[in-house]
Amino acid sequence: MSWLRKVRNNALARWLFHSIFVTGDNVRLCVQKPVIGRLLPVRAGRALDAGAGSGEYTRGLLLPRAEQVVAMDMSAAGLQRLGSRLSRKQREECQLVQGPMEVLPFAAGSFDTVLCAEVLEHCQNDERAVAELARVLAPGGTLVVSVPVPPPAIEDPAHVRDGYTPDELCALLQRHGFMCQQRETCMFGLSRKALRLASWFHHHLKCPPPLMIMCYLERWLGSHAPGAALPFDVVIGAVREEKAE
C-alpha cells in the first residue's frame, strides 16, 4: 500500500494532508468550496453531484443540505473512495452511480439541485452534457457549475478544452434553458503559483509541496488577493427556467 493510499484511509492524516500539501483537489477545497457553498441552496431537496470524483463536495456540501443525494462519476475508484468515507446514515442518503455525463440514467425532472464542479472541460460533447443536466433538473431547480478559465494554470491532459470564459459558460447554459443568476470567481494569483509549484514538485521530486498557506492567505484576502483580475475558476449559479405552457 502506498503512502498516499494510507493517507486517504486515515481521517486525521487526510485532514493534515489537505491542510498542508498543495494538490489540485486541496486547492479547490480551500478556495473553491466556500464559493460553491454560497451558491448552493440551503435546502437542496433531491440533489445530483454530476462528476463527483471522490466526493469531497458530496459529503461536505450536498449531504448536509439535501434529503437524498446521487453521486455520479466515470471513475469506479473515486466512487469507491467516497463510499468508504460515508457513515452508515450517509449511505442511506447517498446513492453511488458510475456513468458518463452525456447520458445520465435518470428520469426527466428527477432533481431539485445539481452540482457540476470541474467536469464540463472533460466532456467531448459539452452541449450534450449540459442538455442532460437540464433534462434531469426540475423546472425552477438550481444548477451550480464550475469550470476553469483560460489560460490554464497548469496543463491537464485529461481536459478536452482549457475551459470557458464566464460569458462562454453563461451562453452554453442559456442555450439549454438555464437562467444564470449568480457569478463568482476564485483561484487567483496565489493559487496559480501553488498549482505550478505542485506540478514542478510532482515532476521533479515526486511529492506535493507543503505550501497550502498560500491558498489560505488567498481565501482570507478574497477579491483583494493578487491576480484577482485573472481568475482560474468561475462558478455560476443558474436556475432551470420554467417551461412555457
Above pLDDT 90, what percent of the chain? 84
Q: What is the mean pLDDT of residues 21-46?
A: 95
What is the reported pLDDT for 18?
Answer: 86
- Domain for residue 152, yes or no? yes
Taking 90 as the threshold, does the pLDDT of residue 14 lie above it?
A: no
Helical packing angle, 189-204 and 213-221, nearest 10°: 170
Given a contact cutoff of 8 angstroms between Cβ atoms, the answer to whether 22 and 126 are in contact is no
Above pLDDT 70, what percent of the chain? 95
Separation of alpha carbons 195 and 205, rounded Å: 15
- Domain for residue 49, yes or no? yes
The CATH number for 80's domain is: 3.40.50.150
What is the reported pLDDT for 51?
Answer: 95
Residue 166's domain spans which residues? Answer: 26-188+228-240
Q: What is the mean pLDDT of residues 161-167?
A: 94
Taking 60 as the threshold, does the pLDDT of residue 221 lie above it?
A: yes
Tell me the pLDDT of the chain averaged across its residues. 92
Where does the pLDDT of residue 157 fall: very low under 50, low under 70, confident under 90, or very high at 90 and above?
Answer: confident
What is the reported pLDDT for 244?
Answer: 44
Structurally, the chain folds into a number of domains equal to 1
Q: What is the mean pLDDT of residues 143-163?
A: 91
**Considering only 150-154, 181-185, 240-244, which range has the smallest mean pLDDT?**
240-244
Taking 90 as the threshold, does the pLDDT of residue 11 lie above it?
A: no
Where does the pLDDT of residue 8 fall: very low under 50, low under 70, confident under 90, or very high at 90 and above?
Answer: low
- Domain for residue 148, yes or no? yes
Where does the pLDDT of residue 1 fall: very low under 50, low under 70, confident under 90, or very high at 90 and above?
Answer: very low
Helices (H), 3-148: 3-8, 11-20, 24-31, 33-39, 56-57, 76-85, 88-93, 126-136
Pairing of strands 233-240, 111-117: unpaired
Q: What is the mean pLDDT of residues 139-162?
A: 92
- Domain for residue 2, yes or no? no
Write the pLDDT tens digit of every residue in 48-90: 999 999 899 999 999 999 999 999 999 999 999 999 999 999 9
- Domain for residue 59, yes or no? yes
- Domain for residue 124, yes or no? yes
Taking 90 as the threshold, does the pLDDT of residue 34 lie above it?
A: yes
- Domain for residue 18, yes or no? no
- Domain for residue 134, yes or no? yes
Residue with grid cell 483583494, as numbered in its chain? 224
